[in-house]
Amino acid sequence: HVSTLSSSLHSNTTSHYFFSPRIALKTQVESAIAYHELLICRALPNHDGFVKLVQWTKDKTNEEMTMILEKGECTVYDMFVREYKNKVPLNILKQVLFQILYTLWYGQHTCEFVHNDLHLKNVLMKRVKGDCVFTTSTKHTGGIQRSDVAVSSRRDHSVSSLPPEVSDSPTSAVSTARRVVRRRRRSPLAELNDDNVEKCNRDTEMQKEIQKNKRKYSQTTTTPQKPVKPEWFGSCWRTDINYMTKLADFGSSRITLPDGSVLCIPPHSEIFDPHHDLDRLATAIKRIQPGKDTPKEERKMYLSLKKQMGSIGCQVEQLLEHAFFDSLRYDPAEEERHSNQEIQNAVLKQEKHTLHFGLNPITPIVFRNNKRVHPASPAIRKRIRRKVVTRAAWSSVR
């Protein structure tokens, strides 16, 4: 991204730099945070979702340091809040959120990356040509790997036979409470009098008939099976907004180096917490709503995505496989077949053109105003050939 550098940027000598408009300069006071951000930028994986570091330098007094970074057209905050006034079109909102989540997923799986200061102003948007295709790593066969343990943030006591205060008690207390509940649920036959024996018998016969019908119904019906998703369902996406989101400002970030050491700066913890960035992102998009033309089902899925993003124990893999992003998925095999069909159509068109005009179509030489002219239309070529032949015949007769 740098067009010309007259000398090394690490030298303190006076020199003239000619920079490309595709880069940005970030100058800050020389401190532990500045050096930490420099180390993070140099250790980040080579991925388009992170802002790239081109070079860095110090001034003569060694009091300030400047980093030459990749430049973006705007931030997500500028687009969502200032341009669209928190009413973002569904297509843009969906694809920008997906790109942010995909970058977080890639950073977490490669170097246990945690941004620790993720908000809309720290996400740049850079214009790109064409579509952006996202695929998971080949070692994750069949899509993104899910977490083995799912932690829920709330408990549903409506279907539980125990009250909330008993459900949250230790294991021994729970077992004791269950025995008490079972003791309270004794059979009605133990408390019968002589007056209601006949009524209880009728109730018992009715219960037997109900159980018999249930068994008969369960034998005749089968439980519907869930449709099996193809292998590409959770591994291939495409965005076509001609923008690529890039995470920036890594002054408080945390990563794990290949040798196992951790780059982290206090007061942030060295423990890898994959949910921290999701919690910050859920807070950042709390007021962001889809546009007025958004269908009702898409609006419900967006609210479900935000709710799941803010829940405790949520993983990025679960969000990428959310139904809100189903419209971005594509089958790579179908894409390959489509590209092969386009190539075949182009070859057939070229062969048809060759058969119609010949390998070396004869073009008569015509001079108009002492200039050589090559007519392009077949009808004009035929007409000019006829005139040329006629003139040649008359000249031979003369």
| Digit-coded pLDDT (tens) for 355-372 | 555 444 444 555 556 655
DSSP notation for 253-312: -BEE-TTS-EE--TTS-SS--TTHHHHHHHHHTSS-EE-TT--HHHHHHHHHHHHHHHST
Model pLDDT, residue 118: 94
pLDDT of residue 175: 45
- Please state the length of the chain: 398
Rounded to a whole number, what is the largest CA-CA distance in the chain? Answer: 141
The reported pLDDT for the residue numbered 219 is 46
Query: In the chain, where do the E strands start and end?
Result: 4-5, 17-18, 23-29, 53-58, 64-70, 74-75, 87-88, 123-127, 132-135, 236-239, 243-247, 255-256, 262-263, 289-290, 366-368, 371-373
Q: pLDDT band for position 330 (50/70/90)?
A: confident
Listed in sequence order, the residues at least 6 apart from 308 whose beta carbon sits closer than 8 Å to its beta carbon are: 314, 318, 319, 322
* Number of other CB atoms surrounding residue 15 within 10 Å: 12
Is 37 a residue whose pLDDT tops 70?
A: yes
User: Could you report the per-residue pLDDT of 217-235, keeping only the tens digit for each?
Assistant: 444 444 444 444 455 455 6
Q: What's the pLDDT score for residue 346?
A: 76
Which residues fall within 8 angstroms of residue 307, CB to CB, at 6 or more apart? none
Within 13 Å, how many C-alpha atoms sit on residue 196's CB side?
A: 9
- Res 390: pLDDT: 55
| Percentage above 70 pLDDT, the chain | 56
What residues contact 154, with CB distance under 8 A and at least 6 apart?
none
Which segment of 41-45, 67-71, 278-282, 374-378 scores lowest on mean pLDDT? 374-378
Report the DSSP pairing between strands 64-70 and 123-127.
unpaired
Q: Measured between alpha carbons, how far is 143 from 321 in angstroms, rounded to an integer?
A: 9
Q: Per the structure block, which two tokens stand in for 232?
A: 């590409």
Is residue 30's pLDDT more than 50?
Answer: yes
pLDDT at position 52: 92
Instruction: List all residues 6 or more positions away from 150 whose beta carbon is below 8 Å from its beta carbon.
Output: 313
201 pLDDT more than 80: no
The average confidence (pLDDT) of the chain is: 71
Per the model's pLDDT, the better-predicted residue between 177 and 306 turns out to be 306
Q: How many CA atoms lie within 13 A of 206 on its CB side?
A: 6
The model carries a pTM of 0.60
Residue 115: its pLDDT value, please? Answer: 94
The per-residue pLDDT for range 117-159, each reduced to its tens digit, is 999 999 999 988 878 888 774 333 333 333 322 222 222 333 3
The conformation of residue 154, written as its DSSP 8-state character, comes to S
The partner residues of 289 in beta bridges, in order of sequence, read 87
- What percentage of the chain reaches a pLDDT higher than 90? 31
Please return the burial class of 382, using the count of CB atoms within 10 Å of its CB with bins 0-12, 13-18 and 19+. Answer: exposed
Highest-confidence segment of 15-29, 170-184, 355-369: 15-29
Helix axis angle, 276-284 relative to 90-111, nearest 10°?
Answer: 160
Spatial separation of the C-alpha atoms in residues 226 and 229, rounded to whole Å: 9
